[in-house]
Structure formats: C-alpha cells, structure tokens
Structure 1
Amino acid sequence: MSEQPLTFLPLSYSARPPRLAVVAPQGDDWVRWAAAALARLSKVWGCSGSVVLPAGTAEHPALRRCLVHLQPDHVVSYVPSWDTADKVTPGLVSAVVAQQDLPQGSPRKQFEESVRKQRWRAPVVVEAEAAAIALRTRLAANEQEDHVHVHGLFDAEEDQSLTPLAAVATTSLIGVPQSLVTSPAALAYAMHVGVEQSSYEGVVESRQWLEAAARGDESPLLNDLHPTAGGEALPVMAHRAALCIPVRRGYRQAQTTVVVGDRPEDFALAQVLRQLHDYVAWLPSGDTSLASFWLFNWMPRGAKLTATSASLSSEEVRGSIDRIWDEHGVGGIEPVEKDRPYTVVDPVDLELQGHSMVVLQTAWDQPRSLPASVVSDGSLETALALAGEVPPGLDAVRHRWQVSLICAEHPLPPLPELTTSALITADQSPWQTFVRAADGGITYWSHRFDFVSSGASLAGTLAAPKLAWPGIRKILQQATEASTTQLRPSAAGKRAAIAERLLGSRKALEDLAAGPGWQVLRLYLPETSRTDLPVHSWWPLKSAVVLSWEAIAALEQPGWDAAARRAQADEWTTQGVLRRGLVLGCAHCPIYDFYPLAEISQQYRCRRCGGDNDLVQGRWKPFGEPRWFYDIHPAVLELVANDGDVPLLATRYLKSQPWARPALVGEEFELLRNGNPFVEIDFALATSGELWVGEAKKTGSLADSPRTRKREAAKLIDGCLAVRAGGLILATAQPAWSNVTVDALREEVRGCRIAGRPVPQIRLLTGLRSQPKLAWL
C-alpha cells in the first residue's frame, strides 16, 4: 500500500492502573469465596476499577455486554491458600495435618504453617481457572499467542506484574473485616469499600448492611467498624486511596441503577455496572426500609432509577422495586404509577453508552503528538516510538501501569479482534508489550516483557511500541479474519468510494447529499421531469442527459443563490464530478453526443462512425454560438439514481449525535460465506465505544412479504454479529418504519434470545430527508 506524506497524530495520554476481572471460586458458600477474592483484590493497585466474578457468572448472558464495555486489561483467576480455604470451610487444614501422624509440638506446627501457605487446588478452584481462561479468550484480555501476561491472584504470593496498593497509597486504608462478610447483604456493602483480612468481634445487622449499600462508599458504617482508624483513613476501594480519579469517555447520560436479587450473578452484575454507571446499589433480599430512603432521596432531580436483575424476571424485579417504593413514604408522596421515578430494564437492554476510566490523577489527558503516515486504506502508522517516561507519583522499578493513548480524530472500538497484530507497525516486535484496543484508543503495558538485560536503562525497560491505528476497512477485515466470513466492497460501495475520492472526503460526500446540490444532480436522471427548465438548456443524448449553466441556475433552492451555484459548478468540474464540454453532431451520421473540453479542437472525430468533422456552426447545439454543457461522472450518476443519499444522510446524522463523536465511517460492503454473498451492509460506523453497522432504505419496509421480511431481518442481525458489531441501525427516508417491519425485527430478536444467541442493540432512524429521529427498537 502506498503511503502519503507524514502528518501529526494528536493524542491524549493517560497513565492508569490495570483493570482486573478476577474470577473467584463459587461453590455452595459463594459469598465467603467472593469476600476472600475481594480481600485479595483489595491489596492490588487498581482494585477500585476492578471487579470480582464468581466462576459461574463469567459467561452469564446478563453480563456478556457489560463485560465487553468494562474492557478489563487482565482476566485472572483467584487461587486461595489453604489458610483461606480453612477460614471458609473450617477444619480443612486440621484434617490434612491429622493424616500425617506427626507428633505434637514443633514438627506438627511447622507442617501446619507450611500447608496454610500452599495453594488450595480443590475442584472449585480448577473450575474458576477454567472460567477465567474462557473469559480471557472471549475478551482477548491478557493473552497473546498463548502467552498469558498476568496469570492470577494468589493469597500467599505477590505477582511481580501487579503493583500492591500499599506501595502507592499515601494514607492508611480500611475495609470491611473479612470475617463479617458472610451474607449477601454484607457483600453488597463490602463491594463498595473493599475487604481486609482483619478480625472483628462485633455484630452488624442485615438492615444496616443494606442501608450502607444504598448509600455507597460514603457511609459512616466503615468508620463504625474502625473507631480508631483516624480521619485520614480511606476505604481501600476509594479512587483517592490509589492516587486516582474516575474520568468519563464518550457520551454518557447519568445512570442510577439498582440491582435486585441475591444470586451470584446479581452480585457480579452490580460489580460491573458500578464501573459503568454513576451510582449502583445491589439490594439482595432483606429489610430495605432504610435503604429505600437513600435510594430515592439521593437521586438527582428529574433522574429516573433503573432497576434490573440477572436472576429475576422483569415482573419479579418490578414487584421488588414497587415494594421498596411503597416503603419510601417521604413527604406524603402517593405511590401512584405516574409518580414512580424508576423503570425496569432487562440486563441485555441496559444503556451502556460511553465508559469510565480510573486514571492516575497526576497523569491523564496530557497532550502528545506523534508523526504518522496515512496508509491508502485510511489506517495511520506512527513514525516514531513514544519515549519512555514515568508518571509523577510512580516508580518504574516498583510499579507497573497501563498507558492509554486516545486520538480524538481516529477512535477505535474496543473489539477483542483488535489485538497486537492489528495495532503495531510491521517492523515492531509483537513481544515488547501487550497492546490492545480499549478506552476508544490503544492501551499497552508500561514495561517490556520481552528480553530485558540486567542493568538496562529506563528507556530500555519501559515499553515504547510503534503503533498503528487501523482504518474502518481494516477494522472490519480484522473482525472477520478469525471466522468463515469474508468481506468485500459492494457495487454501491465502489460507487460511493469513487464519489468520495472525487470530492475529497466522506464528509464532503455527506454534505453534498444533505445540500441543495443533490437536487441538481437528480436532473441528470432520465426519469426526472425537466419541463420547467429553459428551452435548449438540457439535451437527452443517447449516452446521458447533459445540462447547461442555464438549467443549473433555473433550479431554485432556498439559500442557494446564483453566485453560490456558479462556484459549486466550477468546483464540481475541478473535482471531476461534472465535465464541461459541448454537444456536437456529425456530418456523416445523424448522431449528437457530448464531447468534454479536453477532447475538443478545431477538428474532432465522431464517436459513432469515426468520421472527421470540423468545429463549425452546423455541428453544435443549440444553434447560434456554442453553449457549454455539463456531463456527470457515471459513478456519481449511479449513486444518485440508486438513492445513495439515504445512507449518506444516515451517517451524517449519526455523526452529529454525542455518542458517535467522533466516528470512522465505511461505505457499503458485502459479507460472504464459502465465497457466496449472504448480506449487504449499507454503512459501518466505528465509535470509541462500539462498532455499528446499518441498513438504509428509501422506503419504510425491509420487504413486501412476511417471509422475505423475516429473512432480511435475520440476515441483517447475522451480518451485524459476523463483523462483531454491537449495534444495528435501520435507517429510512420515510417518517417511520412500517409496523410489519418493526414486528419482524422484534420477533427475530425474541427468537434469538430464546435460543440463547447474542443479539445486537437495534436502533431505528427515520425521516432522513426531512426531520431525522433516532429511537431504540
């Protein structure tokens, strides 16, 4: 591929702790195991932006989309020690020691101490490791060609790849004593503030845990558990404890969410949503009278609570949240339906636009600029590696961090397929560091994990990869590379690409579709009525229709005066959209044709019969002095004839939405299986949070017959999933999609969910040529 001259890639640089998804043993006493995993995670820098997942929840349908949006850097399993296992199930260590028939005293005590430090390899731990491997593979989190960067969290060992929280914290840290976390209610609070492995003799009632869970990590309950901690102490899960702050990436509305249910999947869902939404409370069953006060009274004015559950049906969730609201009773509010400030949402339909990052407060959104070359497919390749640097507050010898680079002009969706091979230049070693797409850009591990010689310099220790920013076509190709699906440009896509090349950019082509000039181009269509145009200002030739300046000037468009039209016509001829020339006849055969300016001289040769002609008055139309006519580029004419403005108007409107700024846009393409096309996609839209594909129609229906509508709906959803897109947009020029089409889409979505197949988020875009409107299906 040929390269254009160097440009500069403006970047936003952030340093942050790694995001972890820790898969914990589940078993019958899953609450205690989750508490043990939280206690271990609470010792790691970055715990405030990480989550614990009981093993059986890692592939739960309610969490699949949420985990993709979380974008964990590392998926690891939690491997407890025998000492921890003995606390969860008392008597395990005593039974092992008793089997050895050791004498009382020092030998027996030493053996017991040795056992307690060893890894506990019970079946529940093996199951957790298997679940972590499956989740790691699906999310492409910390694995590169079978090389796992961070293996797991072990009670008795410190992983050198992860920085202890205590090595970074500058104040004392406190958490819920692990011995107290024996119920879902206690776990609901502990997930907000963290767990420590100290003992505590007191008792906390279930209703107190639930009230504290509803209030979040600002609750004074933690201070009640640590009366001597002092005013400077911070919860281990507090962002400030790790010298970090949360920042928002992409467009996101304020989200206030409550998760109900007391199953492991409910705990896991609440954990993940806590990283994605502004306020999240997990309320397992119990006395929620105090919780209800904090739940509704702390909501922002006009906000609406979202209630959901991973284990309960929507009807059961509504019953639970209704009971909590009925207990609310503040200010004499009558609990009538219209006043209830909450809505029930299935987990697969949760709003997940935008995402959060927990970043080092001294090193985030710092400007960087790299020389980069623009490749013909729209990809960017950095010409220089980043210089190694250590963010303020960190030590390159003791600490490890993530580097996140975000380009506002070139977003990358966090697709698992966008791993090292797609994100580094060809001459870069893939083993220098772990690189992947995340946070709308590229993230990589701060240190090298290839060969580092003893006594290496700081620059030789820190990773400095040469990065590549794939364009939309490469993103789509990369997404289908591992499957049996192939991708190729469609005929319509090729026409749009030619028009885009003539005009200079996709934006210019979209602006043309939305501007008055599109109606001028429609005058070139054979079926268009031109009776209102001046006589002899246009001619229907055998090859095409041609227009004179008089015809272009006669088409009245509001806000488009003659001077603007004149400038537009000149620009089009410069670009090649139109060709200026004469309509000339032949002295040997009765044919008139259009001859571009570049082909005209005093003598010319007839295109039909090859006869030689002189450029004299009898040869041109109309009679009198010759008049310039304008012919249209055939690819642009076909684009206009096939209502190519509809997908252009769709992507233009979508890019104006806050959640899609900025975006990479791709023209129409076909998807093939076994060499056979099975669906056409009219456009692709890559944002910092997701990849969307779309279907654009002039009409408001996918097809005329029920069977064809069902087939088209299935093909579109299938094609969406084939390119790993998280969303499907159906766009039409009509004010609304037909009811039968909407019903067909809903029926197909319902069938996929019943069958356990993934379903993309679907949006309906209407009124493209008048008043565009976007709504969820």
Structure 2
Amino acid sequence: MGEQAFSFLPLSVSARPPRLVVVVPHDKDWVRWMALGLMRVSQVWGGSGSVVVPAAAVGHAGVERALAQFGPDHVVAYHPSWGSVERLFPGLTDRLIAGQQVDDEAAREAATQMLRESAWSHPIVARAEEAAEDLRSRLAVNRREDHVQLTHLFDTSSPSELTALGDVARVPLYGVPRGLVATTEALSCAMGIGVQELMVTAEVDASGWQAATVHQAEPEAVAEVRAAAGPDALAVRTHEATLCISVQRGIPNRDTLLVFGGRPEDYALAEALRQTHSHVSWVPWNEPSRNEGWLYVRSHTQDRILATSASLTLDEVRERAHASWRLRIPSMDPDSDVAPEVVASAEVEFSCRQMVVLRDTWEQPRSLPVLVGEDGSLVAALSLPGEVPAGLDPDRHRWQVTLTARNHPVPPLHALTSPAVIAADQNPWETFVRPADGGITYWSHRFDFVSAGASLAGRLAAPRLSWPAIGKVLQHAAAAHTKAIRPSAAGKRAAIAERLLGSRTELEQLASSPGWPVLRAFTSKKPDWELPPDGVWKLKSGLVLSWDAVAAYQREDWDEHARRAELDRWASQGVVRRGLVLGCCHCPIYEFYPLAEITQDYLCRRCGGENSLVQGRWKSPRPEPSWYYELHPAVRELVENDGDVPLLATQFLRTQHWARPTLVCEEFEVLQSGNPFVEMDFAMATLDQVWLGEAKSGDALESSPKEQKREACKLIDGCVALGAYGLVLATSKPKWSDATVQVLRDEVQGRRVAARVTPKIVLLAGLGTKPDLTVLDA
C-alpha cells in the first residue's frame, strides 16, 4: 500500500432534526388511525419534515420510490399506548380492568393508569412492525445490523431518543382537533397543519375540508382553535414552529402535483411527495368539487400541473383530472391555461431535494484534515469536535449533524451503509452514521457507553469519517447486487493518463484543447495537417514527431509560443518523451531513445551492439540530430481509440446544475459470477445519484438492429445492477440515429409495461462542436 497524501477538506455543517418515516397500524377505519399517528408525530421535533404512512401502503412502488427520494434517517413503527387507543375506542381500558374483577378502588385506578401508559398489543401493531422492518431493509435505513437503536415511536419517548416539539417551540401551537379527523377530506387538510388532542364541539362538512385542502381556507373550527392559541400561534406541522426552515438543493421543482384517490396508498404518496415537492394537494374525494377550481389558478412560480394516483389507473386519473379541470377558474389569458398532465406514481420527477434544517445552524463552513488514498478516498485524520447548536440543550435535545464536502459528494445509495463512510478504526457503536443529502450524517449523541457525569465532549458524538472514492461507491453498489466491477483495459489507460496529468479534470481539458489533434498525429490516424519531410518517423514502437511537425500545425487560437509551452509541459508530465531516433551499425533498425538514456555510447535495443553517437547513427541527414517526441503508450492507445469522446462527455456533464459537484470514474467492467457482461465508459457520482455512461464516435450503439437491442439491454442492466439513477449515451455526431433512438424507446416501454426497474436515459450529442443534452422521450 502506497503512502497517503495529506490535505484539507472544506465542509458545510448543518444541524437538523431527525427525518422519520413512521409506519402506523390501522384497521378498516384507517383514517382515524392516521389521525392518531399524525398527532403523535406532531408532538415530535422534526415532525414537520417527517412522513407518516399507513402500514398497508408500504410496498407500493410509487410510495417506496418517493420515500427513497425523501431519504429518512429512521424508519420506525408507531406503537400506541392503551390510552391512545382508548381515544379511538372509548371505554377499552375500563372493560379490560372490569374483567379482572379488581374490588379495591385505589388498586383499580392504579391498574387502569398503568394499563393506559403501557404499549397496546394487537395483531395490527405486529403487522405495522413487520411493514416497518421490511421498509428498513428495502431503503437500507436504520437496519439492525447498522447498530441503530431507534426502531419504534411510542407515545412517551425518552429524552435520549427523540426531542419533544414542546421543548423547542417558542410560540403557541395549534393543530386540527383529532376528533374532527374522521374522513379523508379532513385528513387531507390535517396532513399539512398537524393534529392535536383538542376537545371541540363544532363540526366541519366535507366542502369545508376540501376548501382548506385546495386553497388554504381554514374551516371555522380550525380557525377557532388557532384564534384560541393566540395571535402568534403556528401550526404544529410547519417548519417555523420548530425553529427550522426547508432548504432546497438544485433547481426548485415548480410543478404542482395533484394526487387523486382516497386509498391509504394515495395518502401515503401525497404525504411523501410533500417532503420533496413544493406544491402537493391530495384530492381524496371521488366527485369533483367546485373547490377544485383553485387548484388550477396558475402563477409565475408554477410550471406544470401534474395529476397522479397510487390506486387509480392512468385512464381513471385522466378522467378524474379532466372532470376537475372543467371546474377551473379561468385566468385573464385563457390560452395560458394548460390542462394537467397525467403521470404514473412511479414516474414522478424529482429535480431537487429538500432538507429541513435548524434555522440558525446550517451550512456552517468548516475544514477538516484528511488523508487522501491512492483511489481518491478521503479519511478524516481527526474528528470534528461536537458542537451544540444555538437554541438546543444537549441534555434535553437530540439532533442530526450533516456534513457535505464541497468537492467530494457521497450519493445516497442504498448500498452505502455505515461501514462505507466511517474510518476503519472508528468505533461503529459510537453513533449512527450514514450517507445523506450528498454528504454524511450522524446522530448528535454517543450511543455507546457514557459514564455518569461525563463532560459535554464525552457525551456528544465525534466520529472519524470517510468519504469513499467513486470506485468504492461502485464496488459497494455492485456487491449489493451480487456483482463486482474491475477496470477495463481502456479504463487502465485513462487512469495512467490521469496520473500523468494530475486529475481527471486535467485530462478532460486536454481532450478539449487545441493540442488533442497533435496527440492524434502520433497514432495511425491521418493527421489534420500536412507533416513536413523528416517531421515524422514510423518506428516499430510507433510514430515519433519532431518539433517541426508540431509547428506545422496551424491554428489561430494556438500560436507557436503556446504550442512550444504545451509540448514542454507534456514532456515534464511524461505525456510525451523527448529523445533521438538512432540506428545501429550492426543491424538495420532505428529506435527511439529517450533523453534520459542518451550518452555518447549506447547499446542497440535489438541486438545489443555497441554504438557511438555520431552523424551516421541519427535518422535525419542533418549535421546535428533533431529532437523527436514519443507519445506515452497508454496515452497513444487512449487517443487512437477515440478516448476523447467520454472525456468530452464528462466535461460537458460537469457543467450541468445537477452534476455540481461530481466524481468521475473511467471505463470499467461489470462482472457477474466472475465474468464481464457489460462495459461502461464512465460513471459519475453526484450529490443525489449515480449516472453511468456509454460514449461513441458514431451515431449508433452497434451496426445491426439486433446488436443494438442487445447492447441497449446490457447497458440498462448494468445501470440496474449498480443502482444507477440514469444512463448517459454520448456521441460526437450531431445526433443519435433514429434507429438507435427507436430501439431505446422500445426497450424502455417494454420494461415499464413489465414493471421492471428502468433508469432514466439521456442522449448527449454534438460533443466537441455543439453539445446538446436531451431526455429520451419514451
């Protein structure tokens, strides 16, 4: 193992409440159970940024995809107490105590109180726990093997687990009275406001809840609760009530999402999408209402209106959306009114991520000394000291610390668990660590043994972390799917070139520089200009060029002074070697001898004969020998095999907003059972996803339709095997051939019909001239 370099890693540090997915048990009357779960989550700090789902919705493809994008810290099962369940079934505890025939009144009261505070045991609770465990496994979140202690949400939580909202809030709070949440219409309103256990006598009809859902017009009963709380009161499920704000990374999604359907999975879909999209309305009622006209009031902050559902078919959603659209309130310019677009729940776009953070403690700059491994992985030489965010108390509050490196993203892949992001000698039991939000997050307090009376430093977690290189990211992703990866021959050549130049970025700049055609002249490809006599010699080891050959290359933006400086820089980097072309007096062969090997006397490389450096030995007939330049073999093969195409592709992709910052990996092979089944020309790890890419100098994947389909299938399967979000197909041609695009569309449509996982496909054309990036329209 080679020596590790030492560097400093600029970080952005944020403090935030834990993100939860709370799985709630329920029976046929699932709405009242969801009200109970919402009421409990409304009491937790961070409940505004958490998701509450019914157990029956776990496993739905659209819901699970939205939850994966949400990226929870913990998936927990809600375990209600007998006292909470009694709110749904009055007299439940009294009937049970009466059956035990306790005669003493004091003993009966004590037994009743003890029962109300104990956890309620029922098959529906067990099913919710099973659903939560299943969801943890599929999302790879707080699994038991990841040393996580938080798996349940009880009605009374220990201060060492979750922080109560009342301990943090500084203003009065209000919510929808739980007793009023008895219908899906009421639940659609309560999911945005939150729920409290309040006694009210007023009732709200369905139209009142519908109006509150679509244009925030509070029903009278809710308005009375808010007024009673005081003029400064805030809803319990607003970020402001918890001293938090929502920050967005990427271009904000301005689409309005309408989720139709009154099933548990429809509620769960809307609840999850609320955490990733700015405008989401759940429309659970079956018959269109005139209140829905407000859904279509367009504004400058809105792009499209999308309609989806987790329980309805696309045709049913289309019919329901059309009926709703006819009730719209026309704008001043009727031509600008655009009907809603129907999209499947598993195909909703996610253009950015939202993160709920502590308002005064986010994106704080820090710097951490790190050791840089040979593969590019970064390991913290020290750990950041634990800090208490302003407004929090380390004895009463718990929070998440999130670290984001400025130029080293960690994509939140399921395959990247705690071992991938902690140092090898770090105690895994100290705290819960995982990739999140493009970086690394960990629980604020130590989980392992903390002695009584320990200092603040002894109570707060300060783990040593590791930022894996993209190669390690891909290895973890492959291993999760019983696959493996290894560098291909082309990948090894690119890696050598990167080491010579210093980085992948420098190699990309070389591929787009005026000097690339000069490097191509060292190969068998025809040069772009006329080479002078004696300016190039074809030797057994390859072509060598003189300075005269390089100087003959005419280009306005690359004058002779710039060419001279570039050639010298290449020589200092090892991209080219300066030397002489010398012959042998014993055998008829000429070879290139680098400068470091040239002496007055030298041995022939072919026959070993002794030679003296005299005029008869150098290739040209000049009185003095001319310097020649030989291209590094790895660089020559890279250039000859059109290695500039993937380099130009990744260079262009780095300019896209979603790829800043990004890590790039050169070509590699994906192995199945030890045998390669697909090659990828590059991979990119961003803050949010992993992308794989294939680059071609032509406009087709292969020569025949059958081979094109086979290649398309292999590339898509490679993306699925590594959990990649998307596939980039890049070409230097102005566009991909129509036949290639059609093959891709057919394959994507077939996979969607078969409900198979399909990556997003983007087409990149015009590399080196006028790059154009488009999403495959399937």
Q: TM-score range by the shorter chain?
A: over 0.9
For residue 327 of structure 2, what is the aligned residue in structure 1?
Answer: 327
What is the distance in 1 between the residues matched to 2:669 and 2:503? 22
Give 1:225 deviation, angstroms. Answer: 4.1
For residue 728 of structure 1, what is the aligned residue in structure 2?
Answer: 727
For residue 696 of structure 1, what is the aligned residue in structure 2?
Answer: 695
What is the distance in 2 between the residues matched to 1:649 and 1:510? 6
The Cα offsets for residues 561-583 of structure 1, whole Å up to 9 and x where unpaired, read as 11111111111111111111122
The Cα offsets for residues 454-485 of structure 1, whole Å up to 9 and x where unpaired, read as 11111000001111111111111122234421
8 Å Cα contact 1:416-1:437 kept in structure 2: no
For residue 750 of structure 1, what is the aligned residue in structure 2?
Answer: 749
For residue 278 of structure 2, what is the aligned residue in structure 1?
Answer: 278
For residue 357 of structure 1, what is the aligned residue in structure 2?
Answer: 355
What is the distance in 2 between the residues matched to 1:423 and 1:244? 27
Give 1:264 deviation, angstroms. Answer: 1.4
For residue 305 of structure 2, what is the aligned residue in structure 1?
Answer: 305
2:400 to 402, 426, 432: 402
The Cα offsets for residues 516-539 of structure 1, whole Å up to 9 and x where unpaired, read as 211111112224157722222112
For residue 214 of structure 2, what is the aligned residue in structure 1?
Answer: 214
**What does 1:196-235 align with in structure 2 at a 5 Å threshold?**
196-216=196-216, 222-235=222-235
For residue 163 of structure 2, what is the aligned residue in structure 1?
Answer: 163
8 Å Cα contact 2:17-2:357 kept in structure 1: yes
Q: Which letter maps to 2:412?
A: P
Q: Secondary structure at the match of 1:630?
A: strand
**What does 1:137-176 align with in structure 2 at a 5 Å threshold?**
137-145=137-145, 147-156=147-156, 158=158, 160-176=160-176
Give 1:43 deviation, angstroms. Answer: 0.4
| Percent of aligned pairs with the same amino acid | 53
8 Å Cα contact 2:697-2:733 kept in structure 1: yes
Q: Which letter maps to 2:664?
A: V
Q: How many residues in Structure 1 have an aligned counterpart in Structure 2?
A: 775
The Cα offsets for residues 653-678 of structure 1, whole Å up to 9 and x where unpaired, read as 11110111000111111111221111
For residue 539 of structure 1, what is the aligned residue in structure 2?
Answer: 537
**What does 1:38-437 align with in structure 2 at a 5 Å threshold?**
38-89=38-89, 92-93=92-93, 96-97=96-97, 99-101=99-101, 111-145=111-145, 147-156=147-156, 158=158, 160-216=160-216, 222-286=222-286, 289-297=289-297, 299-300=299-300, 303-331=303-331, 334=334, 339-340=337-338, 342-437=340-435
TM-score (norm 1): 0.95
**What does 1:478-497 align with in structure 2 at a 5 Å threshold?**
478-497=476-495
What is the distance in 1 between the residues matched to 2:20 and 2:176? 20
Q: Secondary structure at the match of 2:711?
A: helix
Q: Secondary structure at the match of 2:581?
A: strand
Give 1:302 deviation, angstroms. Answer: 5.9
Alignment CA distance shift 1:304-1:341 (3 Å): farther
Structure 1 residue 644 corresponds to structure 2 residue 643: yes
Residue ranges of structure 1 left out of the alignment (5+ in a row): none
Q: Secondary structure at the match of 2:67?
A: helix
What is the distance in 2 between the residues matched to 1:684 and 1:239? 37
What is the distance in 1 between the residues matched to 2:298 and 2:91? 45
8 Å Cα contact 1:353-1:689 kept in structure 2: no
For residue 763 of structure 1, what is the aligned residue in structure 2?
Answer: 762
Q: Which letter maps to 2:382?
A: L
8 Å Cα contact 1:192-1:217 kept in structure 2: no
Q: Which letter maps to 1:31?
A: V
For residue 556 of structure 1, what is the aligned residue in structure 2?
Answer: 554
Give 1:94 deviation, angstroms. Answer: 5.7
**What does 1:595-744 align with in structure 2 at a 5 Å threshold?**
595-624=593-622, 625-744=624-743
Alignment CA distance shift 1:393-1:746 (3 Å): same
Q: Secondary structure at the match of 1:617?
A: coil
For residue 516 of structure 1, what is the aligned residue in structure 2?
Answer: 514
What is the distance in 2 between the residues matched to 1:772 and 1:108? 79
Residue ranges of structure 2 left out of the alignment (5+ in a row): none
Q: Which letter maps to 1:363?
A: T
Alignment CA distance shift 1:146-1:196 (3 Å): same
The Cα offsets for residues 259-298 of structure 1, whole Å up to 9 and x where unpaired, read as 2221211111111111111221111225654543432326
Give 1:747 deviation, angstroms. Answer: 3.1
What is the distance in 1 between the residues matched to 2:358 and 2:331? 42
What is the distance in 1 between the residues matched to 2:159 and 2:235? 23
The Cα offsets for residues 626-659 of structure 1, whole Å up to 9 and x where unpaired, read as 2211111110111011111111111111111011
The Cα offsets for residues 493-546 of structure 1, whole Å up to 9 and x where unpaired, read as 100000000111100101111122111111122241577222221122222111
8 Å Cα contact 2:254-2:302 kept in structure 1: no
**What does 1:14-29 align with in structure 2 at a 5 Å threshold?**
14-29=14-29
Q: Which moved more, 1:571-580 or 1:718-727?
A: 718-727
What is the distance in 1 between the residues matched to 2:658 and 2:595? 47
8 Å Cα contact 1:3-1:373 kept in structure 2: no
Q: Secondary structure at the match of 2:262?
A: coil
Give 1:731 deviation, angstroms. Answer: 1.6
8 Å Cα contact 1:661-1:687 kept in structure 2: yes
8 Å Cα contact 2:10-2:368 kept in structure 1: yes
Q: Secondary structure at the match of 1:246?
A: strand
Structure 1 residue 585 corresponds to structure 2 residue 573: no
Q: Which moved more, 1:41-50 or 1:137-146?
A: 137-146
8 Å Cα contact 1:118-1:156 kept in structure 2: no
For residue 504 of structure 2, what is the aligned residue in structure 1?
Answer: 506
What is the distance in 1 between the residues matched to 2:301 and 2:146? 50
Q: Secondary structure at the match of 1:488?
A: strand
TM-score (norm 2): 0.95
Q: Which moved more, 1:266-275 or 1:117-126?
A: 117-126
Alignment CA distance shift 1:175-1:628 (3 Å): same
8 Å Cα contact 1:178-1:198 kept in structure 2: yes
What is the distance in 2 between the residues matched to 1:236 and 1:663? 38
Q: Secondary structure at the match of 2:523?
A: coil
8 Å Cα contact 1:729-1:763 kept in structure 2: yes
Alignment CA distance shift 1:739-1:292 (3 Å): same
8 Å Cα contact 2:193-2:238 kept in structure 1: yes
Alignment CA distance shift 1:362-1:89 (3 Å): same
8 Å Cα contact 1:210-1:288 kept in structure 2: no
The Cα offsets for residues 381-437 of structure 1, whole Å up to 9 and x where unpaired, read as 111111122111000000000001111111110123322212121221111100000
What is the distance in 2 between the residues matched to 1:742 and 1:159? 57
Q: Which letter maps to 1:636?
A: V
What is the distance in 2 between the residues matched to 1:218 and 1:459? 47
Q: Secondary structure at the match of 1:618?
A: coil
Q: Secondary structure at the match of 2:228?
A: coil
The Cα offsets for residues 171-229 of structure 1, whole Å up to 9 and x where unpaired, read as 11110111111111111111111011112221212222122122359898732444322
Q: Which moved more, 1:83-92 or 1:508-517?
A: 83-92
8 Å Cα contact 2:255-2:302 kept in structure 1: no
What is the distance in 1 between the residues matched to 2:130 and 2:9? 41
The Cα offsets for residues 587-611 of structure 1, whole Å up to 9 and x where unpaired, read as 2222222221122222222222222
8 Å Cα contact 1:143-1:149 kept in structure 2: no
Alignment CA distance shift 1:653-1:221 (3 Å): farther
Give 1:763 deviation, angstroms. Answer: 1.7
**RMSD of aligned Cα (Å):** 2.3
